[in-house]
Structure 1
């Protein structure tokens, strides 16, 4: 004990303080430090001289504990109540540098009259840190084990459960929480849980083997009775060469194995499709390619039978299947011989069969009970049994192009099989489409070759000039053989046309006009067709007329014409005919003018003496008839009758000539109104004959209204006039569609005397009569005028009849006229 220490009177205490390994601090009742041994100096960083006399609360006690320290000291001094004396506690302490340390603290009173408190202090900072690290590690391990995807079981050397997790309990259907298994004996767990496995005894035996060998086991597969697949790891635990237990790890790999199996199937499918595609690309053999695909399809689906076919259509649009690959389903010697010798494709046309359901619905068909499935129909006698069937449509876009059919897969077929085979069906569709495209391309090449040959033959044999002209080079690039032949040039001369302007054969006046048009066309971006007539010089030197037509054949990148294609036909005869027609037209116009002049003369000069004959004859009859003999009166009556007929003839002749010379413009005409007016005008004759005229709806058309009135009056009037004796006339007027656009048919029928078929044309001639003047009135001009009216309107009129059975007049006339209203 040092001389300055208030504890120097305590014998042996100084020696104890000096040799103590733990820090020792002595405090008086005022809370001040009165002793501080070397171990304390080392622990807290204070020297003895620095801390003696200093308040303990202000030096070694952390800030958050100082109030409690002071309150405890005060309470003890006042009441003697002590909470920490004689106890070992763990608490924090403050070092000189301000850092905190963890300490283990024991406080006792020193013996003697003066009250002192002595504290034994041990630094437990590292121990606490290690404890916290161990606790953290254990917590992490527990959390890790609890959240592992795998089931974990840790057994000690006596096969007692040391650690497990919920996943382990779930995998093996253990109905308690993992914590309740700690300490449980696992020596009989194999026997207890063996029924969960597909091979129970093998499971138990294998566990014994693993435990006996005490060698690590990795990724060992176990199959459970419910179909799950587990993967097991075993790890023996040794400490200082002593066996201390083992760790079991179980993982459910059912989904992984299923995925691996599916991937393997996909790999096999892709390999089959790749091989088939390559085979098709190598030789485009549809049967060979589909034969390989069918083998792969049967292997992939574990089916016994199958076919692959293309969907085609009959002329009436019914679908059927043409097979390109099919397995043999021969069930006797005859069908086997047929199968062995048949090298073509089978055709399935029976839509009532099971595959017909695929054709008609364009949807997959699953039949896992064909015997009781009404869609399957019946099989031939001794045919191999059909246990399961799957029919699959093969689409290219939305078009059904093929069918795949497979049968007798163990366990049948389902939607998963259909989904799995979609890439296969797409490959089949692509191969069928490629085959069709190749066939179509080959056919197109053949047709193009034939078309080129055909066009070449047409070009060389067509009775027209055909040429290709380059606007920039101003020369012909092509000229057909007909150029030389039609202009009588030699074949050698024809070859010389190519490379120079065909316009060199053209008449100078026509050539200048053509060159102007070519200059205009060269700067145009419009699609134009140029037509003109020109003269070309033949080998004889004669000029022949040609009607030419040009169109743009090729444009440059600016859209301007580069080349034009032209064709020309020889119209020399037409031009000569037009000239002759023009001459004839002029002559006809002169003739029409003369006819009009004649009509004018007839209407005045012929009628004037006729009127005098009628006037003087009338006077003679009224004033001198009694002075005439019987013969004289007869002669007078005949003269007046002849004069009257002459008057009618002149009027009818004038009417006939005026159909074209005095015609009215075409306007919209309602034939119903005109027909009613005509019947009204003929009412007296209808009543006199006791007959009837029935009018059915008639169309509206563009016509000359006065001539339409005259036409219907002539036809209806004739129908009433030529009635059979004793039979009331029945006249019907109606209309129907003509069967061609823009035309209508008008019919007038009667029940009159009729006429012989040989007169069907004669009755339309001028002044033609089939009966004498005494039998029926008239001049024979009515039907001739009717025909001329119909023809002026661009129509036709025909008559059909049988003697005694009436007649039918049929008029076919346009509904619309060119230049109507003019």
Structure 2
């Protein structure tokens, strides 16, 4: 396979680096490279302008210029080749600067090897190609966006057309014979009625829109109202639905109305409108009533025909004629049955279904194939209903005792498992011996009726619970005779059972002083005294209102004994409160905005300001504040009147009578009347002059500390920059020793003797340790500034590394260095290395002359 040739430009002022990079590229096994070298910034810039390279390697330090400047120049010249910053500066900051300038990759000279260098060049070229593809895709996306904007313009034109169509639709609505309306579900007001409402409702559109939704509901026939109230929420939940009910017109006449409803939400799911289309179906309902009557007559006639059919079976001569007549009769009967809105079913004596009309099949959710021949138990009748009633036994009892089940009501079951209430009329057929052979049953859905009955029971139970749970005594009387009472009033009067009050005279439990007041039947609360069973008087608050039934009155009685006690306690508490304010250590006062005067001040305020109580009560409260504090007070009052909630605690400067200023923390609570006009304020003031003086001193000290911290931070930054520059300048020649030592070990190792190879290995190890030491010194300089977290340090390894570094000094002095098993500790490895090196080095330097040191 032919290897791809890549043309590479190296911009570096160090020829040793050029030689080293050329060697690394020669050792790369998967690519062929042609390397050109530019030794200066200017030569590199001229070479870049040819724009004929696959990739560019660029050093950071280029004499008077930097590699970053050359990267900026390359970007300005729109050089297509990717740029790799190839430098000895190994820091995150240099990496980040290079990427921001426009470099594709960052590679340190220390970590370079044939594989890594080839991979970096390959990744950079592929990244550049990917960027070019993305730029092309972005251009195509921009063109698509322009097309979308053109489409939006077309949509705007179509919206104009839709507006014209909406005006045409309103013209159709205004001329419709059906009433069309819209109810705003947020305001509960009607927003539109079509002109047809004058004919259907008897009211003009304006009169209908002036009504509330409750007023229109009140005109629904009482027999239909509960069904409408129950069905409306279900239709709203589903979004669409239909209602039929009777509605009282302006003339008082009730008309049947059919209403189709649609509910609309906004994007957040909130209900916006209820739209309705209303049609008068009174004539249709009247026709349905006539049709039902006719259907009943036909049903009666059909039963007579069945009896005749049984009699005609014995007449063989007339069989053919009777069969034809019977066929016609059955067709009429089947048409009648199939068109009925009732469930019609025939079952044998074992309760197996032999027939069910189409309405019944749809009602129960079955097809004829699924139901015919099946037993009613488990299909249309559950074995037990949800109340535990044994419906299987009941169904079998119908066959045994049909006379007791001419009509019966029980729960049935649809195919989906839903239980429904049905009222059944059963007609049993017998054979000649009097045995049951067939049951004909006609059923009607009474779910709504049952639901209404249950709702009424729940309502009555809820009313009774509310009455018993009330904290007030409740009783109902008719012409002064008590007919009902809750437990509270019974206990209040000293009795145990409501029967003690029933059918008794109400005034018998009222102090005679208030009899005349009670007979007036006042509907506003008034106070009286009622008579306890033991003869004591109980203060109560009474309100009387007419009850649902004419002539009956409901009376609510509130026991005031606890309130009276609380009022007395409140008066006592208020007296204590006044005394507490008067002698409180903080200044407390009240002001009246209308008179612009103090209304009350305590002794602490007098001591704080230096004024007497009489002097303060004659002053404007703002006069004790300086001008700035007066403006702050007025601003807070303005914000409070605008509905905002200003801070309760604000610092003010108070001017004492002798002229000196006092810092005070004032807690201000504003008050206003029922019309929103400001009345005044209650103020609690604390002297914070000493605290403000302490804060001023602390602020001055903090400013001095911050100034010192800035100087220390600048010094640390300069120290870190010096350490970075020093480490780079020291590591650059050391890196070349390592690199060329590695190349020498690769190329000349076979020709060297064991001693020369040992020297070479020691030279490489020493260079590596020196490089590590430079890195550690750089880290150590940062530790002094930033701190370094501890880690696990094996002191045995640290001791071996230090002895290896001091090997020549140990041989020179003839010293003996021994150490036992050292522990593994949590510490800074750099500092531990420096500690051991200092200790052993000092021991080797400072010892008795003529004696080899023992460490």
One fold, TM greater than 0.5? no
Relative to the length of structure 2, the TM-score reads 0.27
